[in-house]
Protein backbone atom coordinates (compact mmCIF):
# COMPACT_ATOMS: atom_id res chain seq x y z
CA UNK A 1 0.00 0.00 0.00
CA UNK A 2 1.27 3.43 -0.91
CA UNK A 3 0.30 6.02 1.66
CA UNK A 4 1.03 9.69 1.10
CA UNK A 5 2.01 12.01 3.91
CA UNK A 6 1.53 15.68 3.17
CA UNK A 7 5.08 16.95 3.60
CA UNK A 8 4.86 20.74 3.35
CA UNK A 9 5.22 21.52 7.05
CA UNK A 10 4.91 19.86 10.45
CA UNK A 11 5.86 16.43 11.77
CA UNK A 12 5.37 14.39 8.60
CA UNK A 13 8.55 12.36 9.15
CA UNK A 14 7.20 10.67 12.28
CA UNK A 15 4.18 9.50 10.26
CA UNK A 16 6.45 8.21 7.50
CA UNK A 17 8.43 6.18 10.03
CA UNK A 18 5.28 4.75 11.58
CA UNK A 19 3.91 3.73 8.17
CA UNK A 20 7.17 2.03 7.21
CA UNK A 21 7.18 0.19 10.57
CA UNK A 22 3.72 -1.15 9.76
CA UNK A 23 4.77 -2.35 6.31
CA UNK A 24 3.19 0.39 4.20
CA UNK A 25 5.12 2.46 1.68
CA UNK A 26 5.20 6.13 2.70
CA UNK A 27 5.29 8.81 0.01
CA UNK A 28 6.16 12.42 0.91
CA UNK A 29 3.51 14.43 -0.96
CA UNK A 30 4.49 17.90 -2.14
CA UNK A 31 2.85 18.11 -5.58
CA UNK A 32 -0.71 17.59 -6.78
CA UNK A 33 0.23 14.94 -9.33
CA UNK A 34 1.47 12.66 -6.55
CA UNK A 35 -2.09 12.29 -5.29
CA UNK A 36 -2.91 10.05 -8.27
CA UNK A 37 -0.41 7.43 -7.17
CA UNK A 38 -1.42 6.89 -3.53
CA UNK A 39 -4.11 4.82 -1.82
CA UNK A 40 -4.55 7.06 1.21
CA UNK A 41 -3.16 10.26 2.66
CA UNK A 42 -2.09 11.51 6.09
CA UNK A 43 -2.33 15.20 6.97
CA UNK A 44 0.18 15.66 9.82
CA UNK A 45 0.21 17.99 12.80
CA UNK A 46 2.05 21.26 12.61
CA UNK A 47 0.53 24.66 12.03
CA UNK A 48 -2.70 24.63 10.07
CA UNK A 49 -2.40 28.28 8.94
CA UNK A 50 1.10 27.61 7.53
CA UNK A 51 -0.22 24.52 5.77
CA UNK A 52 -3.09 26.51 4.28
CA UNK A 53 -0.72 29.07 2.78
CA UNK A 54 1.62 26.41 1.41
CA UNK A 55 -1.25 24.35 -0.01
CA UNK A 56 -2.57 27.34 -1.92
CA UNK A 57 0.91 28.38 -3.06
CA UNK A 58 1.64 24.90 -4.42
CA UNK A 59 -1.70 24.60 -6.23
CA UNK A 60 -2.58 21.68 -3.97
CA UNK A 61 -5.75 23.04 -2.41
CA UNK A 62 -8.33 21.96 -4.99
CA UNK A 63 -6.73 18.56 -5.80
CA UNK A 64 -6.48 17.86 -2.06
CA UNK A 65 -10.10 18.88 -1.50
CA UNK A 66 -11.20 16.43 -4.20
CA UNK A 67 -8.97 13.67 -2.80
CA UNK A 68 -10.26 14.13 0.77
CA UNK A 69 -13.88 14.08 -0.41
CA UNK A 70 -13.47 10.54 -1.75
CA UNK A 71 -10.40 8.71 -0.56
CA UNK A 72 -9.06 7.55 2.82
CA UNK A 73 -7.50 10.38 4.79
CA UNK A 74 -6.15 10.58 8.34
CA UNK A 75 -5.66 14.05 9.81
CA UNK A 76 -3.86 14.56 13.11
CA UNK A 77 -4.04 17.82 15.07
CA UNK A 78 -3.44 20.57 12.46
CA UNK A 79 -4.44 17.90 9.90
CA UNK A 80 -7.75 17.41 11.71
CA UNK A 81 -8.28 21.18 11.61
CA UNK A 82 -7.82 21.07 7.82
CA UNK A 83 -10.44 18.31 7.49
CA UNK A 84 -13.15 20.03 9.55
CA UNK A 85 -16.31 21.63 8.23
CA UNK A 86 -15.87 24.69 10.42
CA UNK A 87 -12.84 26.18 12.21
CA UNK A 88 -12.86 28.74 15.02
CA UNK A 89 -10.21 30.43 17.14
CA UNK A 90 -9.79 32.23 14.73
CA UNK A 91 -11.95 31.07 11.87
CA UNK A 92 -10.10 29.94 8.73
CA UNK A 93 -10.64 28.00 5.54
CA UNK A 94 -10.83 24.22 5.70
CA UNK A 95 -11.40 21.26 3.38
CA UNK A 96 -14.84 20.47 4.81
CA UNK A 97 -14.22 16.75 4.33
CA UNK A 98 -15.72 15.78 7.70
CA UNK A 99 -18.79 17.14 9.45
CA UNK A 100 -17.41 18.59 12.66
CA UNK A 101 -16.60 22.01 14.10
CA UNK A 102 -13.27 22.56 15.81
CA UNK A 103 -11.63 25.32 17.83
CA UNK A 104 -7.88 25.86 17.50
CA UNK A 105 -5.52 26.14 20.47
CA UNK A 106 -8.51 25.52 22.69
CA UNK A 107 -6.74 24.21 25.81
CA UNK A 108 -5.35 27.68 26.61
CA UNK A 109 -1.77 28.78 27.19
CA UNK A 110 -0.83 27.11 30.49
CA UNK A 111 -1.88 23.63 29.58
CA UNK A 112 -1.51 23.91 25.86
CA UNK A 113 0.44 20.66 25.76
CA UNK A 114 -0.24 17.50 27.75
CA UNK A 115 -0.36 13.73 27.61
CA UNK A 116 -3.69 12.25 28.63
CA UNK A 117 -4.52 8.65 29.29
CA UNK A 118 -7.89 7.86 27.76
CA UNK A 119 -10.09 4.78 27.33
CA UNK A 120 -11.07 4.50 23.66
CA UNK A 121 -14.68 3.68 22.72
CA UNK A 122 -15.55 0.12 21.71
CA UNK A 123 -15.84 1.26 18.09
CA UNK A 124 -12.06 1.73 18.28
CA UNK A 125 -10.91 -1.16 20.49
CA UNK A 126 -13.04 -3.78 18.74
CA UNK A 127 -11.31 -2.98 15.45
CA UNK A 128 -7.84 -2.70 16.94
CA UNK A 129 -7.02 -3.88 20.47
CA UNK A 130 -8.39 -3.07 23.90
CA UNK A 131 -6.50 -0.91 26.35
CA UNK A 132 -5.94 2.69 27.37
CA UNK A 133 -4.27 5.09 24.96
CA UNK A 134 -1.89 7.97 25.66
CA UNK A 135 -3.03 11.02 23.75
CA UNK A 136 -0.27 13.56 23.12
CA UNK A 137 -1.93 16.96 22.79
CA UNK A 138 0.32 19.77 21.54
CA UNK A 139 -1.37 23.17 21.27
CA UNK A 140 -4.29 21.02 20.33
CA UNK A 141 -7.73 22.00 19.13
CA UNK A 142 -11.01 20.88 20.73
CA UNK A 143 -13.88 19.43 18.70
CA UNK A 144 -16.95 21.51 19.56
CA UNK A 145 -19.67 19.68 17.66
CA UNK A 146 -20.03 16.66 15.41
CA UNK A 147 -22.61 15.96 12.70
CA UNK A 148 -24.85 12.86 12.55
CA UNK A 149 -22.58 10.98 10.12
CA UNK A 150 -19.55 11.24 12.36
CA UNK A 151 -18.67 8.49 14.81
CA UNK A 152 -16.61 9.29 17.90
CA UNK A 153 -13.89 6.66 18.38
CA UNK A 154 -12.05 8.23 21.33
CA UNK A 155 -13.06 10.82 23.92
CA UNK A 156 -11.13 12.69 26.57
CA UNK A 157 -13.83 13.25 29.17
CA UNK A 158 -16.66 14.55 27.04
CA UNK A 159 -14.47 16.01 24.28
CA UNK A 160 -14.20 13.87 21.15
CA UNK A 161 -10.51 13.47 20.25
CA UNK A 162 -10.79 10.93 17.44
CA UNK A 163 -13.52 10.86 14.81
CA UNK A 164 -14.48 8.75 11.83
CA UNK A 165 -16.63 9.56 8.84
CA UNK A 166 -16.65 7.11 5.93
CA UNK A 167 -13.04 6.56 4.82
CA UNK A 168 -11.78 9.51 6.86
CA UNK A 169 -10.27 9.69 10.35
CA UNK A 170 -9.38 12.77 12.38
CA UNK A 171 -7.50 12.87 15.69
CA UNK A 172 -6.68 15.97 17.72
CA UNK A 173 -3.71 14.16 19.28
CA UNK A 174 -0.35 13.09 17.83
CA UNK A 175 -0.79 9.37 17.29
CA UNK A 176 2.61 9.24 15.55
CA UNK A 177 4.52 10.28 18.69
CA UNK A 178 3.84 7.35 21.02
CA UNK A 179 4.60 3.69 20.41
CA UNK A 180 0.89 2.81 20.30
CA UNK A 181 0.37 1.92 16.65
CA UNK A 182 -3.40 1.39 16.75
CA UNK A 183 -4.48 4.62 15.04
CA UNK A 184 -2.28 3.99 12.01
CA UNK A 185 -3.25 0.31 11.95
CA UNK A 186 -6.91 1.25 11.85
CA UNK A 187 -6.22 3.70 9.03
CA UNK A 188 -4.27 1.12 7.01
CA UNK A 189 -7.08 -1.42 7.54
CA UNK A 190 -9.57 1.10 6.14
CA UNK A 191 -7.34 1.77 3.13
CA UNK A 192 -6.89 -1.95 2.55
CA UNK A 193 -10.62 -2.62 2.49
CA UNK A 194 -11.26 -0.29 -0.43
N1 LIG B 1 -2.07 24.82 17.02
C2 LIG B 1 -1.96 24.23 15.71
C3 LIG B 1 -2.96 24.84 14.75
O4 LIG B 1 -3.89 25.51 15.16
C5 LIG B 1 -2.11 22.73 15.77
C6 LIG B 1 -1.02 22.14 16.63
C7 LIG B 1 -0.57 20.78 16.21
O8 LIG B 1 -0.76 20.33 15.09
N9 LIG B 1 0.10 20.13 17.13
O10 LIG B 1 -2.85 24.66 13.59
Would you state the torsion angle of the CA atoms of residues 119, 121, 125, 126, taken in this order, to the nearest 10 degrees? 150
Per residue in 29-56, pLDDT (tens digit) is: 999 999 999 999 999 999 999 999 999 9
Per residue in 71-109, pLDDT (tens digit) is: 999 999 999 999 999 999 999 999 999 999 999 999 987
User: In the prediction, which pLDDT does 79 show?
Assistant: 98
Q: What is the pTM of this model?
A: 0.97
Average pLDDT over residues 149-176: 98
Is 2.60.120.460 the CATH number for 2-192?
A: no
Per residue in 177-187, pLDDT (tens digit) is: 999 999 999 99
Per residue in 116-146, pLDDT (tens digit) is: 999 999 999 999 999 999 999 999 999 999 9
174 is catalytic: yes
Question: How remote is the CA of residue 105 from the centroid of ligand 1, in Å?
Answer: 7
Mutate to test the pocket of ligand 1, among 14, 75, 76, 81 (most ligand atoms within 8 A of CB): 81
Please give the number of the atom of ligand 1 that sits closest to the Cα of 49. Answer: 10
Of the pLDDT bands very low, low, confident and very high (cuts 50, 70, 90), residue 112 is: confident
Question: How remote is the CA of residue 193 from the centroid of ligand 1, in Å?
Answer: 30
User: In the prediction, which pLDDT does 20 show?
Assistant: 98
User: In the prediction, which pLDDT does 110 show?
Assistant: 63
| Rounded Cα gap, residues 152 and 119, in angstroms | 12
Q: Which residues line ligand 1 (CB under 6 A)?
A: 45-48, 77-78, 81, 104-105, 138-139
- What number of other Cβ atoms are within 10 A of residue 167's Cβ? 18
E-only strand ranges, the chain = 2-6, 25-29, 40-43, 73-76, 86-88, 100-103, 113-118, 133-138, 142-146, 151-156, 159-165, 168-171
Question: How remote is the CA of residue 48 from the centroid of ligand 1, in Å?
Answer: 6
15 is catalytic: no
Amino acid sequence: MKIGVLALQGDFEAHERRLAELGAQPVAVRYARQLDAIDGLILPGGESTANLLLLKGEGLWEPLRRFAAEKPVLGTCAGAILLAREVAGPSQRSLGAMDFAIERNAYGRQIDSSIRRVEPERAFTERTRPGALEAVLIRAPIVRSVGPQVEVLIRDGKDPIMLEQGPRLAATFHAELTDDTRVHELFLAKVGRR
